[in-house]
Amino acid sequence: MPSPPTATGWPSPPSWEGRAAATITRRVAALLRELSRRDPEGRLGISPGRIFYDSAAAQVAAPLIAYPYPDVWKVMEEMPRGGAIILPREELLSAVARAEAIVPRGGHIGLSLGHHGLAVAAAAEEGSVQTLLPGERSGTGNGLSCRVQPSFLSRPLRALPPQAEEVSLTITGSATALRLSAAAGDLQVEHIIMPVLVT
């Protein structure tokens, strides 16, 4: 954690060490993502109310959002174990795009994890589509399924670094969150995706 900011708004001298959580706007997230792409050696620090980024490319001090989102680690601890499958990211993204193409705007697609892999499916008046993606399975149970908004899955898949060629998708049940994770070098990314509840 860096030391508190000085009158100029920049911490001096920051330690830039330790772990912390913060909630930021999409605009700040996009800026930090672009700056870290230009210089992967940048450092992040947090002080009350602000996040700081320092690299050879730029220095940024941005306000935090006052209300925190739920701690993702706590959410993951409370999720059922479910079943997981490791897949090539681009193949999963293509399967989601094929399913999304036939559902009306705001519609949902189905995911089902079985012995033979992950089925990505959708149906509409014009017809139906299903793609079966084989992959390395782990976890418990077969026949786990859920429905999701396709954009909830495609957006985090597209946002992953190019080096993250494989992803792990965990389905925990029809009414509990999915977990999408990927690794790229030292970076570990975790997304929690809420399912569509169909009554």
Give the neighbor-by-neighbor strand order of the sheet with 43-47.
Answer: 43-47, 50-54, 59-63
Together in a domain, 39 and 133: no
Evaluate whether 18 touches 1 at the Cβ level (below 8 Å): yes
| Total domains, the chain | 2
Instruction: Give the domain-ending residue among 32, 49, 68.
Output: 68
153 touches 166 (CB < 8 A): no
Cα–Cα distance measured from residue 154 to residue 152, given in angstroms and rounded to the nearest whole number: 6
What is the chain's pLDDT, residue by residue, as a tens digit (199 residues)?
A: 444 444 445 554 445 666 777 778 888 888 888 888 888 888 888 877 888 888 887 888 888 877 665 566 677 777 788 899 999 999 999 999 999 999 988 889 999 998 899 999 999 888 899 999 999 999 876 679 999 999 999 999 998 888 899 999 999 988 888 999 998 887 788 888 988 887 5
Give domain status of residue 149, yes or no: yes
Boundaries of domain holding 46: 1-68
In terms of Cα–Cα distance, which of 166, 116, 122, 172 is closest to 144? Answer: 172
Does one domain contain both 50 and 99? no
pLDDT in tens, 24-56: 888 888 888 888 888 888 888 887 788 888 888
106 with 173, same domain?
yes
Examine residue 198 and state whether it is found in any structural domain, yes or no: no
Shortest CA distance to 113 belongs to which of 78, 90, 87, 94? 87
SS3 of residue 154 by DSSP:
helix
pTM over 0.95: no
Same domain, 154 and 80: yes
